[in-house]
Chains A and B, each alone.
Chain A
């Protein structure tokens, strides 16, 4: 069966520090991968999605970047965090692009102070 791992679960970082959140999927090949952010009162916002290694599409201009160095690994990064980057970050995967269910990781609560 397929599983998705996301870490860390919580993170407190000072403004201006770098960020690296990692997500890995097991039990499937060539998944579509997504990073979402959930801010208080704003719902889920799609940040990045990837259909293959090295292929990243960005939905929202921002202080963040994503990379997919391996088929089942998706990384969310920032060189310098802003206060506005605080939120709940969720990684997700789907077997096909838009046709099937979306499966989410357990999330990372990021607080930038």
Chain B
């Protein structure tokens, strides 16, 4: 059974710092991995999707990498801003049955 783990569970850093969020998965036979952002009491917004054939994807100040063989993905946020404060979740497909999610990293960017 695929399990997704995110470390750290919570992170608080001053504005302007670069930071890395980690995601690991137990079954490396995935064909993509997604990173989502969730604001309190809101739905999830897809940030980046990395196909299994790719090693990384970039969108603005966000960069996500994927290492299938080691079962890891990282989300790099450059020059963090208070508006980046949210919970970040990673997820991998489970056969044809939707996605399996990690529990998320709760990120606070201090102004």
Partners in one complex: yes
A97–chain B nearest beta-carbon distance, Å: 5
Set A6, A46, A99, A101: member contacting B98, Cβ < 8 A: A46
* B41 contacts A by Cβ under 8 Å: yes
Residues of A close to B42: CB separation below 8 A: 106-107
Q: In whole angstroms, what is the CA distance A106 to B38 when docked? A: 10
CB contacts between A and B, total, < 8 Å: 61
Known: A99-B32, A106-B42, A107-B43. A46 touches B99 (CB 8 A): yes
Per-position binary interface string of chain A over residues 92-113, scored 1 when its CB falls under 8 Å from any chain B CB and 0 otherwise: 1000011111111111010000
* B71 contacts A by Cβ under 8 Å: no
Set B31, B95, B101: member contacting A44, Cβ < 8 A: B101
Residues of B close to A109: CB separation below 8 A: 41
Set A59, A101, A105, A106: member contacting B49, Cβ < 8 A: A101
**Which residue of chain B has its CB nearest to the CB of A57?**
B97
Q: Is the CB of B31 within 8 A of A90?
A: no
* B18 contacts A by Cβ under 8 Å: no
Known: A43-B101, A43-B103, A43-B104. A102 touches B96 (CB 8 A): no
Q: In whole angstroms, what is the CA distance A42 to B31 when docked? A: 25
**Which residue of chain B has its CB nearest to the CB of A41?**
B103
* B66 contacts A by Cβ under 8 Å: no
B42–chain A nearest beta-carbon distance, Å: 6
Residues of A close to B103: CB separation below 8 A: 41-43
Q: In whole angstroms, what is the CA distance A107 to B36 when docked? A: 15
The 10 closest A-B pairs by CB, nearest first: A104-B43, A43-B103, A44-B101, A104-B44, A98-B93, A46-B98, A101-B46, A106-B43, A107-B43, A34-B98
> Can you list 22 residue pairs at the A/B interface with Cβ under 8 Å?
A42-B103, A43-B101, A44-B89, A44-B91, A46-B94, A49-B97, A49-B98, A57-B97, A88-B41, A92-B44, A97-B96, A98-B31, A98-B32, A99-B31, A101-B49, A102-B46, A102-B98, A102-B99, A103-B46, A106-B42, A106-B43, A109-B41
